[in-house]
Amino acid sequence: MKTNGNAAAVMALACSVSLPTLAAAEDLTLCWAAWDPANALVELSKEFEAQSGHTMNFEFVPWPNFADRMLNELNSGGKLCDLLIGDSQWIGGGAENGHYVKLNDFFDAEGISMDDFADAAVYAYSTWPKGTPNYYALPAMGDANGWFYRKDWFSDPEIQAAYKEATGQDLGEPQSQKELLQIAQFFQGREIDGKTVYGAAIFTERGSEGITMGVTGALYPWGFKYETEPGTYQMEGAVNSPEAVEALEFYKEFYETATPPGYTNSYMGESLDAFKSGQVAMAMNWFAFFPGLYADPDIGGDKIDFFVNPPQNQAASTLGGQGISVVAYSDKQDAALEYIKWFAQPDVQKKWWELGGYAVHDAVLEDPGFVDSQPFAGDFLEAMNAVQDFWQEPAYAELLLAMQKRVHDYVVADQGTAKEALDMLIKDWTETFEDEGKL
């Protein structure tokens, strides 16, 4: 087709304007674990692609392999990930080893304030050293270990009467750890709808982090502390306190008297399977899975309900969740920072919650309708106000392996006493911190 000179000039101008935009477009890769919230993030990120011109790629790794894969990637200086939603425990290593870009100057330049996010999330997912205004991630996915149960079983008149006769109490959501165990023991081996069921699915997995995340669900409510004073690395009398011993004994009793047979190595997937298959009356798992459970056509809806991890001596829940960081080895840091800026917007955070992600932005959590927005929203808010986390030290992986071994040997393998397990754990951790020059 023939064009006149003016048209040709317009086309040439259009090319000269658009080419730099095209050149600036990047293919970004975001790395995370493979689970329901990751699928929600893919959907959410389509808006970023449309607005920015960048293309988002995703590397999602199953949870049992996630830590090994991603920590190896970081430690080798790999360029796979431009953005990484890394576990809360990685923040110390990410900062001290130079894996994560420090975000303070970027936040200041873009007007992103950490005061707009839940304090517990900022502390756990963003800061190093802990509690200082040094930020290496934006809070991305709030999470805690909570509980869900068969509401239809709990409300059955015959089951309610049997529980009342057995315990002298009304059957309902447990108000303490000990009541939680009592309810689980009541259901253990009971026949419901012609099928033998069991009390609860708890975490016992040894290979990654499972049993530690489960055991701390009892340790923290009993009052467990990692140090006698924060920042001292003095663990004698804290890690092996009488309260810690009692809590560990409690978890072992729970495992032995109120869980399905053969659940010696169970974590997230096994917990979900046990509940969805109708094996158990209750199960522990991360809040991240609750939207999918509620939507499940077989066990969701009116058949399910949720409760926060019960207190004992205090209210406490095991922290999950992650922050999103820019990987220092990325060649596309400017584009990755654009994603952080976009994700931090209140409207994007609201949509993140609607899609099944756990936003911890005040615009979401402080909305008057938040508590009623999902049947588990109020429990999530309560849990996040009393969360505690594992060591976030650069030597986190070594510290975790030690705890995995000591508590699994005691709880599942039936070796030694709770006090001996915790005493040996102190020895393990002391050696690690001595090697780190912190003791």
408 is a domain residue: no
Same domain? For 150 and 58 the reply is no
Distance CA 254, CA 251 (A): 5
Confidence of residue 152 (pLDDT cuts 50, 70, 90): very high
15 or 272, greater pLDDT: 272
Reply yes or no on whether the pLDDT at 2 is more than 60. no
Q: What is the structure's pLDDT at 19?
A: 31
**Looking at the domain assignment, is residue 418 inside a domain?**
no
Instruction: Please tell me whether residues 278 and 194 are part of one structural domain.
Output: yes
Q: Give pTM, 2 decimals.
A: 0.93
Q: Are residues 126 and 256 in the same domain?
A: no
Q: Are 143 and 268 in contact (CB under 8 A)?
A: no
Mean pLDDT value across residues 211-215: 98
* Helix or strand (DSSP H, E) at 28: strand 27-33
Residue 355 lies in a domain: yes
Mean pLDDT of 288-293: 97
Query: Does one domain contain both 122 and 36?
Result: yes
CATH number for the domain spanning 73: value is: 3.40.190.10
pLDDT in tens, 326-357: 999 999 999 999 999 999 999 999 999 999 99
Q: By the 8 A CB rule, do 394 and 424 touch?
A: no
Looking at residue 44, its pLDDT comes to 98
pLDDT in tens, 221-237: 999 999 999 999 999 99
> Which DSSP string corresponds to 377-423?
HHHHHHHHTTEE----STTHHHHHHHHHHHHHHHHTT--S-HHHHHH
Radius of gyration of the CA atoms of the chain, in A: 24
234 and 194 within one domain: yes
Q: What is the pLDDT of residue 151?
A: 98
Backbone angles phi, psi at 227, to 5 degrees: -135, 155
At 304, is the secondary structure helix, strand, or coil? strand
State the DSSP code for 361. B
Of 271, 298, 318, the residue that ends a domain is: 318
With respect to residue 176, please indicate whether it lies within any of the assigned structural domains: yes
Mark whether 151 and 131 lie in a shared domain. no
Say if 222 falls within a structural domain: yes
CA distance 352 to 350: 5
> Vertex 140, ends 129 and 83: CA angle to 5°?
85
Is 184 found in the same domain as 96? no
Which pLDDT score, from 0 to 100, does residue 15 have? 36
Pairing of strands 83-87, 27-33: parallel
**408 Cβ contact partners less than 8 Å away, ≥ 6 residues apart:** 204, 206, 211
State which amino acid sits at residue 218: A
What string of DSSP letters covers 29-76? EEEEESSHHHHHHHHHHHHHHHHH--EEEEEEE-HHHHHHHHHHHHHT
**355 and 313 inside one domain:** no
**Number of folded domains in the chain?**
2
The model's pLDDT over 3-55, given as tens digits with 9 standing for 90+, comes to: 333 333 333 333 333 333 333 799 999 999 999 999 999 999 999 999 999 99
> What's the confidence (pLDDT) of residue 24?
76
* 123 and 148 part of one domain: no
What are the distances in angstroms from CA 234 to CA 93, 146, 213, 373, 402? 21, 30, 22, 43, 17
Last residue of a domain, which of 299, 318, 337?
318
The predicted pLDDT at position 90 comes to 96
Query: What's the token pair of residue 185?
Result: 């023991």
pLDDT at position 20: 34
- Which of 214, 145, 221 shows the shortest CA–CA distance to 179? 221
Strands 191-192 and 195-196: antiparallel
Distances (CA, A) of 321 to 22, 84, 288: 35, 13, 9
Residue ranges making up the domain that contains 360: 27-143+319-388
Please indicate, yes or no, whether residues 51 and 85 belong to a single structural domain of this protein: yes
For residue 169, CA distances in Å to 60, 165, 172 come to: 46, 8, 9
127 lies in some domain: yes
Q: Is the dihedral of CA 110, 50, 48, 328 positive or negative?
A: negative
Per DSSP, what are the bridge partners of residue 60? 32
Given 318, 335, 362, which residue is the final one in a domain? 318
Residue 4 lies in a domain: no
Both 170 and 272 in one domain: the answer is: yes
Q: Which pLDDT value is given to residue 384?
A: 96
- Judgement on whether residues 165 and 311 belong to the same structural domain of the protein: yes
Is 64 contained in some domain?
A: yes
